[in-house]
A and B are shown apart, each in its own frame.
Chain A
């Protein structure tokens, strides 16, 4: 079996600080400093987020589970893996083209909008200063970001969910060592 973080306390701490800044400053890609090994099809950056945030108290849904990935997550993080995406606190999307509709995942309740899923989406590439413009809390004016490999319907589904704010779904996209967050409040601006 593959190893996990070399230094669980400080590797998670450094990754968390990047995740926190990513969530606070949406649409700006950052590097995750500490990547653990990961079994296929999970990439190390996605595994780093799971290891940093998940444990026995979180329900994780894998889009493409296999024996090695489930074993790895159970052994290293003790995560509770769920079969139904609606039950997921965290969902890992390893093939965006075939992912379930966004509104499959929990968007929270009106009194408790925090009871909502966070998605980790593996994409081929993400680049700043290219692609679409985004605005919202955490973004000074606008931020430009290109995320490759997402089906067009993804953005339509996300726009539909945005009408239900403060309910919603928070997204992390990962490509190689890079990671970017799009919380529910970040708006894709029409070009």
Chain B
């Protein structure tokens, strides 16, 4: 642990500010709480929101897992894990089941989460309406009025043009029937895991200075139309390593001729599944 910095880098005033904002975020599911995001020693866009949330949560009894694209060994996940090992001295793990706090970028683990676990998402753009309306003053008003016509029109135009909704990740959800919310850029494959999750889910956007939350056992509905229900991605392949037919797959180019193979994006799940298959 680096002794010149406070536990988990942030000073106690900042942690209190984050903790108050997190409690409000949980109390108003899916609503984006503005917070005094601090300048972190990692770049904006690289998980500063998630890092601040994790820093406000962590204590000496925690076991931290950090994943990026579902994998523990991607460089940015390694770097964030290293940061907390250095500034908080917390135990870290690559096993989903062993973690008390999981910080993630772009995935929800395949292994079902439990009530005693907290999932922290890194969020680049917390505003689901931002690509449709760049002005914050306008999007705030739309949320205040629960006026999400703009998003419905966008999805409907997709259907008119392509025959189905052309959004494959960061697929907008309605939380507790009230706030339109960005699930962060997870593939829509992961959206069903948000609905009535046993684990608390916290979202941090450092650059945009917003926090939000989806409490456990809360209705999270992926937007759809009666005649165009929500669907998740499916593969014709199974994981080439563990044989899973249920997990989200990464496509890997393995030679110069463009030969592809498909493997689990969740490396912990893949390893566990393989070990079970061998046993």
Query: Does B93 sit at the interface, judged by CB under 8 A?
Result: no
> Is B140 part of the contact surface with A, judged by Cβ < 8 Å?
yes
Q: Which of chain B's residues have a CB closer than 8 A to the CB of A56? A: 13
Interface pair B21/A114, CB less than 8 Å apart: yes
Chain A residues with CB below 8 A from B176, complex form? 137, 185
Q: A24-B26, A113-B31 are in contact. Are A10 and B59 (CB under 8 A)?
A: yes
Interface string of A148-191 (1 = CB under 8 A from B): 00000000000000000110101000000000000111000000
Q: A24 near B200 (CB under 8 angstroms)?
A: yes
Tell me which residues from 1 to 42 in chain A have a Cβ below 8 Å from any Cβ of chain B: 8-10, 12-14, 16-17, 19-21, 23-25
With A113-B28, A140-B217 as known contacts, state yes or no: A9 contacts B7, CB within 8 Å. yes
C-alpha gap A20/B178 in the complex (Å): 21
Instruction: Contact check, B215 vs A17: say whether CB atoms are below 8 A apart.
Output: no
B144 contacts the other chain (Cβ, under 8 Å)?
yes
Q: Is the CB of B33 within 8 A of A114?
A: yes
* B59 near A13: Cβ-Cβ < 8 Å: yes
Contact of B60 among A10, A21, A113, A118 (CB under 8 A): A10
Are B57 and A17 closer than 8 Å at their CB atoms? yes
Interface bracket on B: 35 or more
Q: Is the CB of B27 within 8 A of A12?
A: no
Most buried by A among B60, B178, B216: B216
The answer to whether A53 touches B20, judged by C-beta atoms less than 8 angstroms apart, is: yes
Could you say which of B12, B26, B218 contacts A12, with CB atoms under 8 Å apart? Answer: B12
Which residues of chain A are near B15, meaning CB under 8 Å? 12-13
Q: Are B59 and A185 in touch, CB under 8 angstroms?
A: no
Residues of chain B lying within 8 A (CB to CB) of residue A118: 23-24
Q: How many A residues face the partner with a CB closer than 8 A?
A: 40
Q: Is the interface of A mostly helix, strand, loop or mixed?
A: loop
Give the CA-CA distance A184 to B143 in the complex, in Å.
18
Distance from A91 Cβ to chain B, minimum over Cβ atoms (Å):
14
**Interface check B84, CB cutoff 8 A:** no
The answer to whether B6 has its CB under 8 Å from any CB of chain A is yes
CB contacts under 8 Å to A, within B29-78, are 29, 31, 33-34, 56-60
Interface residues of B in 187-227 (CB under 8 A from A): 196, 200, 213, 215-219
- When the two chains form the complex, which single residue of B13, B27, B34, B59 contacts A170, counting CB atoms closer than 8 Å? B27
A98 within 8 A of B: no
Are B24 and A170 within 8 A (Cβ)? yes
Given known contacts A9-B7, A183-B26, is B215 in contact with A138 (CB within 8 Å)? yes
Q: Determine if B200 and A57 form an interchain contact, defined as CB atoms under 8 angstroms apart.
A: no
Nearest-neighbour CB distance to chain B for A136, whole angstroms, equals 8
**Is B29 in contact with A137, judged by CB distance below 8 angstroms?**
yes
A114-B31, A138-B26 provided; 17 other pairs, C-beta below 8 A? A10-B59, A10-B60, A12-B16, A13-B15, A13-B59, A20-B22, A20-B23, A57-B17, A111-B141, A111-B144, A112-B140, A114-B28, A114-B33, A116-B24, A118-B23, A137-B215, A168-B27
Q: Please list 14 pairs of residues, one from A and one from B, whose beta carbons are closer than 8 Å in the complex, sorted by A's number.
A: A8-B12, A13-B15, A16-B19, A20-B22, A25-B216, A55-B13, A111-B141, A137-B176, A138-B26, A138-B215, A166-B28, A166-B178, A166-B179, A185-B28
